[in-house]
Structure 1
Amino acid sequence: MSTFGTLFRVTTYGESHCASVGAIIDGCPPGLPLDAADIQVQMNRRRPGQSNLTTPRNEKDAIQLQSGIEHGVTLGTPIGLFVRNEDQRPHDYSETDLYPRPSHADWTYLEKYGIKASSGGGRSSARETIGRVAAGAIAEKYLKMAYGIEIVAFVTSVGKIHMPSAVVQTSGADAEDDDNSEDALTPEFRELLSTVSRENVDAHLTRCPHAETAEKMTKRIQRAQAAKDSIGGTVTCVIRNVPSGLGEPVFDKFEAKLAHAMLSIPATKAFEIGSGFRGTEVPGSKHNDAFVRRADGRLGTATNWSGGIQGGITNGENIYFRIGFKSPATISQAQTTAKYDGSEGTLAARGRHDPCVVPRAVPIVEAMAALVVMDQLLIQNSRRAAISLLPPVTTLPPTMVMPPPQIVAPSQTPVKENGP
């Protein structure tokens, strides 16, 4: 369906070449200072045509707010917003009347609905993500102002070019029996997860905060462009200052909701959180995150293989995860493939496309992360509000009962309104 969330609900609409795309956001708390400029920042990071590494489609993606806000403050009622599609070229897709494009959704949409959009990718196009990014920007402003939560995503690989992050493992005959790895991530990368900002990320067109790797990524994307081809990559995201206790086991664990959100983004093919697949290679004696007492008296973990989530519930540590994006399906090379009638032919695709989607995917990943955190916070706060009305539990040992619950305490640290 086209709706995401339980209490903070986002419904997106629109196809790649229709009149407009947008969203309805229901459940935004009242009293949040908000105007179009708060949203436009992320829209500009997502928009096409922002560099020579992206599609040349020239869309301003200017957000227009329609409802739910008066005098610059949210009312608590549904927020309606949209963006007009201005640079449309449906004639670039006339060949899709004959061919289902390889690795696109043309055939599967036709099989599902018995009808499909005549141009572009329709609802499967990344153009649909405009509504997500706008809704995510609204959620993110609330999270930042109320809790000091920071969400930063960045590109960690393009093709076979990877940003330095993993500890170099033993190679050779003894590699299979080596249990001495201390952590999947280098100390430098762990420090980056705690300090990286969007300013660092946006310092390079590839949105990789490691300058040497970013230059290599640029050349790899340009090589794909020159060959009329495409290339994939990965995006890593860190969420900082998330309160503990979020997540709804057993089927709506926090990482399950994150995976749902991330794998709903067009072109995604993989998701891992915390130690991910590397955690399968490490013995439990080294993988376990031992508890320590923090300076504020609360428990924390000495390591963070768990990626900030244990038992499907946030533990207060940094949440970090990685998403894999496939090489864009639209390429300018002629491809031998079957027509709808089954006869063989040659498809010479036109249209405008990204040779690599990961630089523009960064704000989309941040937006979907914000929607998950926002929804889970509202759910947890509603539970705590309900419990707070009951008498304290006195029949169980103190180690089995927390103090009388209160609404999750917001951050008292002054924060900037325009993101981390």
Structure 2
Amino acid sequence: MSGNTFGNLFAVTNFGESHGPAIGCVIDGCPPGMALTEADIQHDLDRRRPGTSRHVTQRNEPDAVEILSGVYEGKTTGTPIALLIRNADQRSKDYQNIAQSFRPGHADYTYWHKFGIRDPRGGGRSSARLTAPTVAAGAVAKKWLAEKYGLVFRGCMTQIGDIVIPFESWDHVPNNPFFAPVADVAALEDYMDSLRKAGDSCGAKIRVTATGMPVGLGEPLYDKLDADIAFAMMGLNAVKGVEIGAGFASVAQRGSLHGDSLSPQGFKSNNAGGVLGGISTGQDLEVAIAIKPTSSIITPRESIDTAGQSTEVVTKGRHDPCVGIRATPIVEALLALVVMEHALRQRAQNADVKQDVPPIRASFL
């Protein structure tokens, strides 16, 4: 099965299944000499892991990461870093009733036709469980980028279902299970409680930023920074839309507004989302993604079985009524992996480029 490696200079190969003995990844290309322990990775895994509130799946996974290789005496050696996360709370019997049928909106039908076989236990490779190794790899990238450039990656939920969440402060994000940038999440909790009682699900919109970006990351044509960001985000389970900067709102903007004016003090806006011509401007990267409703729900739905006969599907088990609730750390990790790849490429090709005029990083946003 191809398509399991992301990146070239910082290549992350993801392995495992939702209900297998373990999941994990191998990172090839991490620069040597960086201090790295499991604790550097565990924090982000704890933010993503299941069972942390009543609003997400109650599968109880500690998601404890183990570093198997690539680190000696507490520092990266430049060789492949193998990260292992053992599965501890599989409940495969929940999926026996759908082994011969296809869940609407899920990858069951396409996997079965592509490979002639599928693992129905929690979705196998198509499960969001496989985002944990991505988060682990992203934590390694975040650490290197923070030490090299001072980069900070932050994300938050800006909409859940039909509820738009206003932005109040980044300080609120760690203090609630929704990663919402607001102090009061009572309305969100009520909404999710009613959704769970109804046996249904909803989507979400997530915003992620990278602050402290250097100027010049990205390539002018096929490997544009924003193109690679969109590619990475669309690789995340359930993502159906990606916006960079003003995104779809730019359709209604005039050119006199959309083009970000420059001054000696900095850019006066950031409709471009920190990327021009596929290359970073030094402003914050601004990305937003749309996540569809969870496909595994207990509401009966019409489908077919593997014999092509009509059937009704009810998905039992432990599922997130909104997969977007735990998506924020994953989106941060994906953005970090893209930036890491381009940072290493820039270092290899353009490290000797000098400019007499210093870059302008500030903006009036």
**Shared fold, TM over 0.5:** yes
Aligned equivalents of 2:253, 2:357: Cα separation in 1: 39
Do the aligned residues in 2 keep the contact of 1:203 with 1:209 (CA within 8 Å)?
A: no
1:203 and 2:175 equivalent?
A: yes
TM-score by length of 2: 0.94
Could you tell me how far 1:293 is from its partner in structure 2?
Answer: 1.0
The CA distance in 2 between the partners of 1:306 and 1:347, in whole Å, is: 44
Alignment of 1:148-297 (within 5 A): 148-164=150-166, 196=170, 199-212=171-184, 214-294=185-265
Within the candidate set 133, 136, 155, 1:134 is matched to 136
Contact map agreement 2:31 2:77 (CA 8 A) in 1: yes
Q: What whole-Å deviation, never above 9, does each CA across 1:290-316 have from its counterpart, x for those lacking one?
A: 11113xxxxx31111111111111001
1:19-418 correspondence to structure 2 within 5 Å: 19-164=21-166, 196=170, 199-212=171-184, 214-294=185-265, 300-385=266-351, 387=352, 402-403=355-356
Question: Residue type matched to 2:336 in 1?
Answer: A
User: CA separation in 1, counterparts of 2:324 and 2:186?
Assistant: 15
Distance in 1, Cα, partners of 2:290 & 2:55: 19
Retained in 2: the 8 A contact 1:96–1:119?
Answer: no
1:128 counterpart SS class:
helix
Query: Displacement of 1:121 after TM fit?
Result: 0.8
Q: Which runs of 5+ in 2 are unaligned?
A: 360-365
Deviation per CA, 1:157-185: give whole Å up to 9, x if none: 001100236xxxxxxxxxxxxxxxxxxxx
1:351 offset after TM fit, Å?
A: 1.5
1:412 corresponding residue in structure 2:
none
CA contact (8 A) 1:16 1:127 kept: yes
RMSD between superposed Cα atoms in Å: 1.7
The residue matched to 1:13 in structure 2 has which SS?
strand
Quote the Cα distance in structure 2 between the aligned partners of 1:366 and 1:15: 22
Separation of aligned partners in 2, 1:279 and 1:265? 24
* Percent of residue pairs identical: 42
Offset at residue 341 of structure 1 (A): 1.5
Counterpart Cα distance in 2 of 1:110 and 1:120: 15
Q: Which residue of 2 aligns with 1:398?
A: none
Residues of 2 paired with 1:155 and 1:118: CA distance?
A: 30
Larger Rg belongs to:
1
| Distance of 1:359 and 1:346 partners within structure 2 | 28
Give the letter aligned to residue 142 of structure 1.
W
Unaligned runs of 5+ in 1: 166-188, 295-299, 389-400, 409-420
How far is the alpha carbon of 1:9 from its aligned partner?
0.6
Amino acid at match of 2:296: T
Looking at structure 2, the residues matched to 27 and 315 of structure 1 have their Cα atoms a distance apart, in angstroms, of 25
TM-score (norm 1): 0.82
Residue 137 of structure 1: how far off its partner (Å): 0.2
Displacement, 1:404?
11
Q: Which residue of 2 aligns with 1:170?
A: none
Aligned partner of residue 238 in structure 1, secondary structure: strand
List structure 1 segments (4+ residues) > 6 angstroms apart after TM superposition. Answer: none
- The 8 Å contact of residues 218 and 342 in structure 2, kept in 1 or not, is answered as yes
- Whether the 8 Å contact between 2:242 and 2:289 is mirrored in structure 1 is yes
Tell me the distance in 2 between the aligned counterparts of 1:98 and 1:143. 46
Q: Which amino acid is the alignment partner of residue 299 of structure 2?
A: Q
Instruction: Note if contact 1:3-1:11 (Cα within 8 Å) is conserved in structure 2.
Output: yes
Residue aligning to 2:363? none
Mapped contact 2:108–2:120 kept (Cα < 8 A): no
Q: Report the Cα offset of residue 97 of structure 1.
A: 2.3
User: What are the superposed Cα offsets for residues 373-405 of structure 1, whole Å, 9 maximum, x if unpaired?
Assistant: 1110000111124x56xxxxxxxxxxxx94599
Contact 2:172/2:183 (8 A) holds in 1: no
Q: Equivalent residue of 1:205, what SS?
A: coil
Q: 1: CA distance between counterparts of 2:100 and 2:116? A: 16
Task: Give CA deviations for 1:266-312 in whole Å, capped at 9, x if unaligned.
Answer: 01111001011111101111111111113xxxxx3111111111111
How many residues are aligned here?
357
Q: Name the SS of the counterpart of 2:30 in structure 1.
A: coil
Q: CA deviation at 1:218?
A: 1.8
